[in-house]
Homo-oligomer: A and B are copies of this chain.
Amino acid sequence: MNATENIKKIIVEKPLKLDCGKTISNYPIAYETYGKLNEKRDNAILAFHALSGDQFVTGTNPITNKSGWWSYLVGPNKAVDTNKFFVICANVIGGCMGSYGPNNLDPKTNKKLGINFPVITINDMVNAQYNLLDFFKIDKLFSIMGGSMGGMQVLQFVANYPDKTKTAIPIACTASHSAQNIALNELGRQAIMADNNWEKGDYLNLNNSPDKGLSVARMAAHITYLSQKGLQEKFGRKLQERDDLKFGFDADFQIESYLRHQGSAFVDRFDANSYLYITRAMDYFDLIKQYKGNLSKAFKDSKVKFFIISFTSDWLYPTSENKEIVIALNAAGADVGFIEITSDKGHDSFLLDVPDFLKSIKNFLEANY
């Protein structure tokens, strides 16, 4: 984990009652912005990041020195044109890029919170980030957008603050986390907690780190972000720097080597306890239950203009789950557009160079600004 002292933060004084019952105050929200807020303050877009994302949407991430996670979509002259729009993104609470999370200190003990950090929800994340509107003196956002867990935050934001955005773009997401997705997240958590170096969550205070467990969790997740067809086309059975099988347990196949790299690279930028907390928040997400089994009530009388996007090869948040949101919005009489983008790149399509996806967002934003 790299130092996060120099990144932008607001300290939220106002108390926030979390869904678990605990109240927090004076907590940090780390954020980044791109483009300029105009005089009318009507060109702001709040982007929400996914499980492993952070506030560094585009350009070079100053902590990892890699491109921001939405570099294909956001930037000057890109689909989300930062010459025109003011893009804000915050690290979610529970995260590890400067916002209030398990690697913060407990002022009472002066130790890292670890798993004494409260279990948070998507609702808590959204309510915490809402404070950025006050900070930037923005009465109403032009748009909110996000994929995967970011899309869940979009849905929750509209439900909580229906008058605070003109448009909303939930991408490759769901209104209620499925059994399979809970299972996959639980697998990741069990991999982390199986690592003795996790130290029952207290590793941060013991100068330890469950790197192997977090790496396995990331490998598991990474497989689910891709598609069968995409994997077959990219890797197939290609061997890794060898002419034939080696009859051992080293990485014979390129896909093995690739996965191992994904696992070990993740450990350098992500905190294992944050992984536990954020996956838990995803699993707890059930907007349908929040509205007593009737999702359309979450969007009742909403004036927000919606644009829902799914991808054909996304088996984690399949089109059917995205369509449930469309159906609920229709039932609520909301203004909603929907597109299923053809792509072999799986769930990760929303992060990649998928021209139809990028063009769809560009057109929607331009038509509505």
Instruction: Give Cα distance in the complex from A176 to B237, angstroms.
Output: 9
When all copies of this chain in the complex are counted, the total is 2
Query: Which of A194, A234, A289 has the largest count of B CB atoms less than 10 A from its CB?
Result: A194
Instruction: Check A20 against B247 for contact (C-beta < 8 Å).
Output: yes
Chain A residues within 8 Å of chain B by Cβ, number: 58
Q: How far is the CB of A219 from chain B (nearest CB, A)?
A: 5
Known contacts A215-B194, A256-B182; A187 and B237 CB within 8 A of each other: no
Chain A 218-249, CB-CB to B under 8 Å as 1, else 0, gives: 01100100101001101111000000010111
Instruction: Give Cα distance in the complex from A183 to B238, angstroms.
Output: 12
Instruction: Check A118 against B186 for contact (C-beta < 8 Å).
Output: no
> What chain B residues lie within 8 Å of A220 (beta carbons)?
187, 220
Instruction: Check A259 against B183 for contact (C-beta < 8 Å).
Output: yes
Instruction: Check A183 against B249 for contact (C-beta < 8 Å).
Output: no
Instruction: Give Cα distance in the complex from A251 to B187, angstroms.
Output: 12
> A71 within 8 Å of B by Cβ?
no
Interface pick from A59-67, A276-284, A325-333, A354-362: A276-284
> What chain B residues lie within 8 Å of A252 (beta carbons)?
283
> What chain B residues lie within 8 Å of A340 (beta carbons)?
none
Instruction: Give Cα distance in the complex from A20 to B256, angstroms.
Output: 20
Instruction: Give Cα distance in the complex from A191 to B215, angstroms.
Output: 9
Known contacts A228-B318, A245-B284, A249-B115; A235 and B179 CB within 8 A of each other: yes
Instruction: Give Cα distance in the complex from A217 to B223, angstroms.
Output: 14
Instruction: Give Cα distance in the complex from A289 to B252, angstroms.
Output: 16
Select which of B179, B195, B223 is within 8 A of A255 by beta carbon. B179
Instruction: Check A183 against B213 for contact (C-beta < 8 Å).
Output: no
> What chain B residues lie within 8 Å of A289 (beta carbons)?
237
Q: For window 242-271 of chain A, which residues contact chain B by CB distance below 8 Å?
A: 245, 247-249, 251-253, 255-256, 259-260, 263
Instruction: Check B280 against A237 for contact (C-beta < 8 Å).
Output: no
The 5 closest A-B pairs by CB, nearest first: A194-B212, A20-B247, A119-B247, A179-B231, A179-B235
Complex A-B: 7 CB contacts under 8 Å: A177-B237, A180-B232, A190-B215, A190-B216, A194-B194, A228-B318, A237-B289
